[in-house]
Chain A
């Protein structure tokens, strides 16, 4: 492995239902307490699902002016805030060489909510649409706005892989650094899908929990009583940096992005392959890329949506890859809900920080597994304290897109 360019993480920024900075996020995950709550607009519309996990309001002034804010949909707004925080945390203000800095953004539905509002308001009078419509809705809006906000003049790319978008954006960004094209990539994902039509669209597929009388108990990845996912929203960005570049400017290295694997089930447009065999191969790809064997992995941050089918297939995939005596498994969606295109990026941040601290957060609402999910070691009750070690994060998406990332505590030296 010597000679390969290593990729450091030198800053992170988040907007999540558990809080708008990393400490709040980690503290809430350690408590294992869901953030789901009733959404009055969903009750008013008599939706099948009347709750979600929302990002707390925050002051826009450090990120965008009120004038700019009107031109952004919420997905882009959350992205700009999280990315700006990540760049500040990395100490990259101003950017050393803007041409060497790229942006890599994953969005799943992107401007879906903006489109919903647009059609609701102007569908029957299209001549009256605002002049801001196109820049607000275009799928690349988040990547473009992040590039503008931080002044990055390298490529600003958008990856669309539904619920694996954020993870793919991070993995692809790593490749750009490894091949020497860029020194720094601000990489992550964003999604704000909490609106009546968007949520109802998922509910009509019967993919969501309808536990309206107890929203906080609804998201329960791998638990035997799980009955669907809970909608969330959020954004997370990591500053990925050529290791030598980070060292030479004296940056604090939070950890290392060590491996990336991606593949496709090629099975069904939304259902996962039931045996998880392709997902297991995705994890193996990421481990091979990281130069690790399964026993070297300290924990797995599962995709863990809390749908019956995902969690079943993922449990089988984890057993397939790691054997019956695999590492502890956590799933952040029990606390945060499912933020679609952002989820892989949010969970990348959580995986990195858990790998470094050795404190693996519990899965909210997990009481006991069913006969399949009990085959894996689900962390419950409180954080599991382990030796800091590399960790693997899964993102498995509608469309059959699978992505796995491997993060590790920072270890100096020439390659691994």
Chain B
């Protein structure tokens, strides 16, 4: 999956959990600072990404997903590592 395509999936899933338009979420969005995301919401974002990307994500990876750009980079790497 190309990074741009992945970025679109991440933004959509995050916007879905937060209940905001997808345009509000960009690579510089900080989920904790801007949206006060709690750990439960972060886990729900992870659950939805796992469903969409058909992969399993580690909890520590999810906790590191507060910055959307970093999250996309991390996921991009994890998906490339996949056999």
Chain A residues packing against B (C-beta within 8 Å): 65-67, 70-71, 128-132, 135
**B19–A67 CB distance below 8 A:** yes
A325 to B15, CA, bound (A): 65
Find out whether the CB atom of B41 lies under 8 angstroms from the CB atom of A130: no
Chain A, interface SS category: loop
Q: Which of B22-30, B44-52, B67-75 contacts A (4 or more CB under 8 A)?
A: B44-52
Q: Look across to chain B and name the residue whose beta carbon is closest to the beta carbon of A71.
A: B40
Evaluate contact between B19 and A132: CB separation under 8 angstroms.
Answer: no
- Least CB distance from B55 to A in Å reads 11
Identify 7 residue pairs between A and B in the complex whose beta-carbon atoms are under 8 Å apart, listed by A's number: A65-B19, A67-B17, A128-B50, A128-B51, A130-B48, A131-B46, A132-B40
Complex Cα distance A67/B47, Å? 16
Are B40's CB and A131's CB within 8 A? yes
B43 at the interface (CB under 8 A from A): yes
User: Is the C-beta of B18 less than 8 angstroms from some C-beta in chain A?
Assistant: yes
Known: A130-B47, A131-B46. A67 touches B40 (CB 8 A): no
Instruction: Tell me the chain B residues, 41-67 only, with Cβ under 8 Å from chain A.
Output: 41, 43-44, 46-48, 50-51
Are B18 and A131 within 8 A (Cβ)?
no
Query: Smallest distance from the beta carbon of B16 to chain A beta carbons, Å?
Result: 9
Q: How many of B's residues come within 8 Å of A, CB to CB?
A: 12
A297: shortest Cβ distance to chain B, in Å? 49
Q: Which residues of A contact B50 (CB under 8 A)?
A: 128
Q: Are A67 and B41 in contact (CB under 8 A)?
A: yes
Query: Which residues of A are found within 8 Å of B17, using beta-carbon distances?
Result: 67, 70
Complex Cα spacing A129 to B8, Å: 22
A132 to B43, CA, bound (A): 8
Within the complex, the shortest CB–CB distance from A32 to chain B, in Å, comes to: 41
Taking A128-B51, A131-B47 as contacts, is the C-beta distance between A66 and B19 under 8 angstroms?
A: yes
Q: Please determine whether B40 and A135 come into contact, CB atoms closer than 8 angstroms.
A: yes
- In the complex, are the beta carbons of A129 and B47 less than 8 A apart? yes
How far, in angstroms, from A132 to B17 measured CA to CA in the complex? 11
Tell me which residues across on chain B come within 8 A of A70, comparing CB atoms.
17, 19
| Closest A residue by C-beta to B16 | A70
Question: What residues of chain B lie closer than 8 Å to A132, measured between beta carbons?
Answer: 40, 44
| Closest A residue by C-beta to B56 | A127
Q: Which residues from B are CB-within-8-Å of A131?
A: 40, 43-44, 46-47
* B58 CB → nearest A CB, Å: 14
